[in-house]
Structure formats: structure tokens, C-alpha cells
Amino acid sequence: MVTMVICVIDPKTHELVVASAGHPSMLVRDSSGQVESVGASNTGIPLGVVDRQQIQETRISIAAGSSCLLYTDGVTDAMNAEMDFYGSARMMEFLATQSGTAGDLMDGLVADIARFTGDHVQQHDDICIVCVQRCE
């Protein structure tokens, strides 16, 4: 089995369609710093668990200045020396305090995870982050 997420962005209408099979929900951060999870109620189960799986899609409009962030569970499952998880709440709180480009958001998130886990804790899961931003 494997999780999967697919996003399609229409550059003319600024509409985004996202469909997920067991993958963490996409986060959208608007220009005012509000962060919301998109498609959480439509997240299906990982591919390969059942035959002929139906995957629901979620459609949203992306406002100018908004960033869309996709990530693997290695982000939220990153642990510190006390075996505490970084977690989705901490990630959303961090993203709400940030500004700048999509690259700035990713760099800042990676640095915050590193601060949380510290130098003495070895990464135990892959971390992948993809972030795009509507500029106009």
C-alpha cells in the first residue's frame, strides 16, 4: 500500500483540485496568515488496501498571496529527544507566523523541525515538502 495526493491548479481560474488516498491533508496559508487544512474530510485510505477504491476530490479557490503546502508524515512525526512528535498543530501554528515566498515557508519549516528535534536525534522517517504560491 502507498499514500498518494494529486493536485491540479487551473492558472486561469485559480481553482485547485486535490484528491488524497491516505496522504496528509494539504495546508493553505492565506496572505493574512490563516492556515487551514484542505480536504481532510475527503482523505481516503491508502492505495492498495481495497479493490476499486473511489477517491473524493476537493475544489477550492486560491486567493492571491496564498501558499499551498503538501508534506509527508515525516514532518508531523518528527520526534525530539523526549519522544514528542512535532505534530500538525505545531506545524500550523508555525506556518501562521511566517511570511514570504513558498521557498521561505519551506526553508522556515525545515529549520523549525530541526530546532524541535535537535542535533542529537536521528531522523527516522522521510521528509518531503512541496509548496506553491499564487503571486498575482
Report the chain's mean pLDDT, rounded to a whole number.
92
Q: 51-89 pLDDT, tens per residue? A: 888 889 999 999 999 999 999 999 999 999 999 999 999
Sheet of 26-29: strands edge to edge? 35-38, 26-29, 67-71, 129-133
Higher-pLDDT residue of 120, 83: 83
What is the residue range of 103's domain? 4-133
Q: In 20-77, which ranges are continuous DSSP H helix?
A: 73-76
Number of domains into which the chain is organized: 1
The CATH number of whichever domain residue 112 belongs to comes to: 3.60.40.10
Report the pLDDT value the prediction gives residue 39, as an integer from 0 to 100.
85
Report the pLDDT value the prediction gives residue 124, as an integer from 0 to 100.
79
The sign one gets for the Cα dihedral 77, 79, 83, 85 is negative
